[in-house]
Structure 1
């Protein structure tokens, strides 16, 4: 899946005019008509590409809408996004180049926790504000000017398993035996095993709740042969499989189990790309995952016409790009939040001075379309009170099912 061509590294998707000046500029006065340039990387090829493409389309839509409404501080906004090829080793050098050579005014973080941590180190070294889409490894997000666009609270390793177990405990026949599959990668391992002195995670919390962990399987993020994992799960025959993985991991595991003629009773995937799972059809029916936003009608009706227009435009763009799943959901909402955090920092501070932007976000927070007003406490690594829910594939579509007061449908139990 990886493309190693250096030509790809140099490819940039540019929205707007030519590059602008220094990243710690004021954004006024002598800047004149120069565009404000935002630099970032995304995984447009490689293992994370299925999700990276979602962030690309959402970002392009945001910048188009922003410029149609006058840009920022009366200046056009240009987005320079470079393909990091899903390779953490490339991320640092690319962000260093964006800041030191291209001299972008602003940056956004990449996708996936390992990549985000690499980018964060560069941002901290240069003092840049860095909104980021999806990192949840809270103990390592120590830079006070990184701002999460998807919050699972300051202790995601406890919150996620407890939310899932609370949900399935309401079923007529709650699971008693579970299998935990863990990608040895950043946030995924954090949610299974905890981090440092905090060992809370899916494994420890399951045992505290009296659940029998019949399989505990850790796999490298470079795994391509899923058959041995599928065989171990089949032999353990759990009531619930928890795959704390990324991208297409859950889809690959389901396909491997299907090849063994084994259908899991129920399965949860932590951060899957949504489209590949839906493409599996009946094999993925009943699949559970985390969600920050699903464009279910009751939710859109509550948010109003602007949110509805954004989601509809995204779908048109995703269809044109031939994405396997064209619905504006959690990943797109996280991307939208990140852009709104960044642009609010500029507008409310009156320029692109990085220190002023960071201080302003701590003082005033940011307003977002899909998550409301966000507040950032550096003592909690800037994680804001979570709005996360649980979603499920029902009749071939993702719907919010937990908690009950935000659900668009009732949580369905295991397959018969």
Structure 2
């Protein structure tokens, strides 16, 4: 029997009672007192920690609710999560250890595309089903048993820039000059530059639409000195800054610009941690980003009481953990989807056999609280029809602004 333990960052979070896992087991998984063990890593420290903490709280909330409702297959569920320190080089060995040494029954993906790609390779080698929260780099997500919990179509490198440029084109004074700042990291670079033979992305689509790209800056994900980038943007004087980055990149760039006495007319951030931007106050007003879910009352009323319970519980836990932004939004919703895909595969297949779980998801899909019923087509790398929207900071809050038929507020134009 495993010893119960709830450890600090970098070790094990155990929920429920202790147990031994069955690895790539082929049994039914029913009966017995031992818990079903789910293994994963998350970026709890390092560059991606601001977002990794959101996924940690979402996962803890999910597992607690699952166990309170009877667990899986009549057994409690234990989540063994290890801090990968936002270091892609550590992810493969950690997932290898979880599967080969710790013998976890199930796995779930980490946060951030580079980390997800590393984990996916291990999952494929061992034949494990791997739901993953946030990777959208479809051309590289070739393993048929990885299942995206956030879908921006199989071609987000085209969908995202077209959606953004469609939206800002409706403004009274649409942007004509843009600066593109790109993290050289997984999905972010994919959205700017395309991948492989498909060179579609923000840069090519902007030019096709007649926009003038006045700055094209790529930076490593380990960047800590943002002043040179801020200076180049200020000197280029764009109407719109497009930051295809992760985590706190957008917040750091805005702070560096503010230190120069410069404020961009309008800015878009691809996958930012939402809280640090709101913490900037007026300096981030008008900021745009992508969204899969925002918990406005009309949406929650439509989804039913369970959605309200989940979002409320998450917010309480996020506040207790002193997260800068405690709202259950896109990142948390993606995390919740991933857990529902995983547990749905177990219940629908009737056990822990990885092959049966994968085949069941392809055959019947998965029901989710926040994105409805998801269908998975291996020919589309399992990406399901997107529900992507755009959100904007207005009066210190994130609100959905595009497309118009799903907007909670009207898109606001550039600051003067």
Can you list the C-alpha shifts for 1:30-51, whole angstroms capped at 9, x where unaligned?
Answer: 7511111000000000010000
Can you list the C-alpha shifts for 1:49-80, whole angstroms capped at 9, x where unaligned?
Answer: 00000000000000000000010111101100
Distance 1:125 1:9, change over 3 A: farther
2:3: which partner in 1? Answer: none
Partner SS, residue 15 of structure 1? coil
Structural mapping, 1:65-214, within 5 Å? 65-214=65-214
What CA distance in whole angstroms lies between the structure 1 residues aligned with 2:10 and 2:220?
A: 28
What CA distance in whole angstroms lies between the structure 1 residues aligned with 2:168 and 2:83?
A: 39
Contact 2:274 2:325 in 1 (8 A): yes
Cα drift, residue 235 of structure 1: 0.6
What CA distance in whole angstroms lies between the structure 1 residues aligned with 2:11 and 2:24?
A: 25
Structural mapping, 1:7-406, within 5 Å? 11-26=11-26, 28=28, 32-406=32-406
What CA distance in whole angstroms lies between the structure 1 residues aligned with 2:324 and 2:215?
A: 31
Cα drift, residue 21 of structure 1: 2.4
Distance 1:316 1:196, change over 3 A: same
Cα drift, residue 10 of structure 1: 5.5
Contact 1:178 1:241 in 2 (8 A): yes
Contact 1:48 1:86 in 2 (8 A): yes
CA RMSD of aligned residues (A): 1.2
Distance 1:82 1:411, change over 3 A: same
Query: What is the number of residues matched between the two proteins?
Result: 410
Contact 1:51 1:273 in 2 (8 A): yes
What CA distance in whole angstroms lies between the structure 1 residues aligned with 2:337 and 2:22?
A: 24
What CA distance in whole angstroms lies between the structure 2 residues aligned with 1:31 and 1:384?
A: 34
Can you list the C-alpha shifts for 1:9-39, whole angstroms capped at 9, x where unaligned?
Answer: 8511111121322123356477511111000
Q: Please, what TM-score do these two structures have when normalized by structure 2? A: 0.97
Partner SS, residue 316 of structure 2? helix
Q: Please, what TM-score do these two structures have when normalized by structure 1? A: 0.97
Distance 1:371 1:273, change over 3 A: same
Contact 1:337 1:368 in 2 (8 A): yes
What CA distance in whole angstroms lies between the structure 2 residues aligned with 1:51 and 1:20?
A: 30
Contact 1:43 1:111 in 2 (8 A): yes
Q: Which runs of 4 or more aligned residues in structure 1 lie more than 6 Å from their structure 2 counterparts after TM superposition?
A: none
Cα drift, residue 333 of structure 1: 0.1
Contact 2:319 2:326 in 1 (8 A): yes
What CA distance in whole angstroms lies between the structure 2 residues aligned with 1:91 and 1:213?
A: 36
Partner SS, residue 214 of structure 1? strand
What CA distance in whole angstroms lies between the structure 2 residues aligned with 1:30 and 1:320?
A: 35
What CA distance in whole angstroms lies between the structure 1 residues aligned with 2:63 and 2:359?
A: 24
What CA distance in whole angstroms lies between the structure 1 residues aligned with 2:154 and 2:119?
A: 20
Q: Structure 2: where are the runs of 5+ without partners? A: 1-6
Contact 1:38 1:108 in 2 (8 A): yes
What CA distance in whole angstroms lies between the structure 1 residues aligned with 2:15 and 2:8?
A: 18
Can you list the C-alpha shifts for 1:291-346, whole angstroms capped at 9, x where unaligned?
Answer: 00011122112212111111000000000000000000000000000000000000
What CA distance in whole angstroms lies between the structure 1 residues aligned with 2:386 and 2:10?
A: 37
